[in-house]
Structure 1
Amino acid sequence: MTESTIPTVVLVHGAFADAGSWSGVIAELQGHGVPVVAPPNPLRGLAADAAYVASVAAQIDGPVVLVGHSYGGAVITVAGAAENVVGLVYVAAYVLEDGESLGELQGRFADSPLGANLRQASYPVEGGGSAVEFTIAPEAFPEIFAADVPAEVTRVLAVTQRPLAGGAFAEAASTAAWRAKPSWAVVAGADQAINPEVERFGAERAGATVVEVAGASHAIAVSRPEEVAGVIREAVRAVSA
C-alpha cells in the first residue's frame, strides 16, 4: 500500500469533549503512517454538525474513514454519506438508523447514570433568543465519563468540556451511511455515559465488525488509545484492500 492510497482518518469527537481527546489515538495512527485529521465537532445539532463534518471530508483529496466517538457516532452516520467516505468506525458511540434520534435509541434501554448528572445552561442564538445546552456536573464527570483515566487527567477534562445543544437529543438522522458502507465498532464494556447495550445494539444492527473492550470507560480513546487505533487501522486496511 502506498501512502497515496491510504485513506485519511477523520476523528469526530462527541459531547463533553474536544478533539484533544483523540491525542493518544492520533499518535498511534501517525506512528503507523496513517494520515489523520481531528476537526472540531460544533455540537450544535445533528444536521448542522453532520453537514460540517461532511464538508471536512469532502475537501480531503482521496478516500476517508470517518471515526465517531459517542454523539460523534450519530454525526458520522449522517456525514458518512459524503461520496469519498469509504468506511465508518464507531467508538463507544450511538449508531442511529435513518429517521431515528438519540433519545429514541436510548429510550429502548435502561438509562445510564449520565442523565441524572447533566448540568443545564443556556446560550444565545440568532434572532435574540436562547437555547439549552448540557454538560456533565464536574463532580460526577470522572466516574461517569472517565473512570479508568488518572484523576489528574479527569480533573482537567471535567473543566474543559464542550457542551451539547439540547436539541441534538431529539433530532432524527436524515440517513444511515452504514447501510451502504462498511463499519466497525468499539464497545466500552464499563461505559457509564452510554449504556453498553445501546452501543452493542446499534453496532450489531449496522452489521459492524465489533470489538468489545472489557472494563473500558466512555473515555476509551483516552484510556485505551492503542486498542482504539488498532480497530481504526483494521478498518483502513480493509477499505484499502
Structure 2
Amino acid sequence: MRTFTMIKTAIATTAIALGAMSPAMATQGASDKPTVVLVHGAFAESASWNGVATQLQAQGYPVVAAANPLRGVKHDADYVASIVAQTSGPVILVGHSYGGSVISNAVHDQSNVKALVYVAAFAPEKGETAIELSGRYPGSTLGPTLATPVTLKDGNKDLYIQQDKFAQQFAADVAAPEAALMAASQRPITENALHEASGAPAWKQLPSWFIYGSADKNIPAAALKFMADRAGSKKTVTIQGASHVVMTSNPEKVAALIIEAAEQTAN
C-alpha cells in the first residue's frame, strides 16, 4: 500500500511539473531540432500558418504559432520575446508582413535565437515604420480596401480590410472558400502600430532569409527585395504570381526555406 501511495505521489508531482512548462518548452523536449516560432501579421491570425506548421511538424520541428497582439511594435515584440525566453533550446523566428517588424525587435539579445525568416515581411531599419516602407515603392493597393476604422477607448483605431475586398487584395491565390474564412477571422491592427518606428534591427546581428510573392498587393515586391538585399539575405525566394499570404498559398516552399535556415544555423 505504501509503494502504491509513493507511485501516485510521484505521478502527481510529474504532472504538476509538466503543467508548469510553457507549450514551447514542453514541445522542445521531444526534439533536438530548433523550435520554430511563427509570428503572423496584420489582418491575419495564427491559423494562417497551418500549412507551414504541418510541413514543419512532419519533419520533426517543434512549432509555436504565436498570437501576435497587433497593438504596437514594441508591445508585440516584448510579447514574442517572452515566448522566446521561455523556450528551451534554439529558436528560429519567422515573421509574416508586420510580423517581420515584430521579430526584428523581439530578439532582446537572447542567444537562443539563431535565424530570422521574413515571409512577405517588413525588415525595418531603426526609425522606419511599416506604413513608410510599404509606400516607398509603388504598387500597394491596401489603403482603399480598408474598412472604416474602429475607434477604441484610448483614442487609437483598429484597422480591418473590407471582407468583400479581402480575397483580391490579400489572398488572390488562395481558394475562394478559404479566403472568405480568412476575411471573416482576420484580426485588426492598430493604426498606431503601422506608424510606430522600429528599434535597432536584429537582422544586423543574425542571419536572415526572405521569401515573398511577385504579386503582393500589400507590400510591393520592389520594397521586399530592397529590404532583403539591405539585410544581407542568405537566400531570397520570389514566388511568381503569389499573393501577400504566400505562407498560406505556398506552405511547402515557405517551410522548405525555414528548414534551410534551421539547418544552416545548427550548432
Decide: shared fold, TM above 0.5. yes
Which residue number corresponds to residue 77 of structure 2?
A: 50
Query: In proportion to residue count, which structure has more strand?
Result: 1
* SS of 1:72 mapped into structure 2: helix
Larger radius of gyration between Structure 1 and Structure 2: 2
1:29 correspondence with 2:43: no
Q: Which has the higher contact order (CA 8 A, sep 6+)?
A: 1
Match of 2:99 in 1: 72
Contact 1:24 1:222 in 2 (8 A): yes
Establish whether residue 222 from structure 1 lines up as the match of residue 248 from structure 2. Answer: yes
Three-state SS of the structure 1 residue aligned to 2:138 is coil
- Quote the Cα distance in structure 2 between the aligned partners of 1:63 and 1:120: 42
How many Å separate the matches in 1 of 2:109 and 2:254?
23
From 114, 119, 126, the equivalent of 2:147 is: 119
Q: 1:190 aligns with which of 209, 215, 228?
A: 215
Structure 2 residues without counterparts, runs of 5 or longer: 1-28
Partner of 1:174: 199
Q: What is the rounded CA distance, in whole Å, between the counterparts of 1:5 and 1:86 in structure 2?
A: 14
Corresponding position of 2:169: 144
AA at the equivalent of 2:207 = P
C-alpha contact 2:31 2:60 (8 A) present in aligned 1: no
The one-letter code sitting in structure 2 at the alignment partner of 1:154 is A
Whether the 8 Å contact between 2:140 and 2:219 is mirrored in structure 1 is yes
Mapped to 2, the partners of 1:85 and 1:23 lie a distance apart of 22
Aligned residues: 237
Aligned to 1:97: 125
Q: 2 CA distance for matches of 1:172 and 1:207?
A: 21
The Cα offsets for residues 194-215 of structure 1, whole Å up to 9 and x where unpaired, read as 1111111111100012111111
1:106 CA drift (Å): 2.3
Pick closer, same or farther for the CA change 1:120–1:57 going to 2, 3 Å: farther
Identify which range, 71-80 or 97-106, moves more after superposition: 97-106
Shift of 1:119: 1.4
Q: Which residue number in structure 1 is paired with residue 230 of structure 2?
A: 205
Higher helix share: 2
Contact 1:80 1:88 in 2 (8 A): no
Work out the CA distance in 2 between the residues paired with 1:215 and 1:29.
24
Are positions 1:110 and 2:135 aligned together?
no
What CA deviation, in whole Å up to 9, does each residue of 1:11-68 have, x standing for no partner?
A: 0000001000000000000000111111100000111001101111111011111000
- In the TM superposition, residue 102 of structure 1 has moved relative to its aligned partner by 1.1
Distance 2:136 2:148 in 1: 24
Code of the residue aligned with 2:171 in structure 1: it is A
State whether residues 152 and 158 of structure 2, in contact with CA within 8 Å, keep that contact through their aligned partners in structure 1.
Answer: no
**In 2 relative to 1, CA 3–235 (structure 1 residues): closer, same or farther, beyond 3 Å?**
farther
Amino acid of the structure 2 residue aligned with 1:15 = A
Cα offset, 1:111, TM superposition: 4.3
Give the whole-Å Cα distance in 2 for the aligned partners of 1:233 and 1:72: 19
Instruction: Report the secondary structure of 2:156's partner residue.
Output: strand
Q: Distance in 2 between matches of 1:175 and 1:233?
A: 26
Retained in 1: the 8 A contact 2:139–2:217?
no
Give the CA deviation at 1:5. 3.9
Instruction: Please give the alpha-carbon distance, in whole angstroms, between the structure 1 residues aligned to 2:183 and 2:81.
Output: 28
**Cα offset for 1:193?**
1.6
What TM-score results when the alignment is normalised by the length of structure 1?
A: 0.94
Structure 2: distance between partners of 1:152 and 1:77: 33
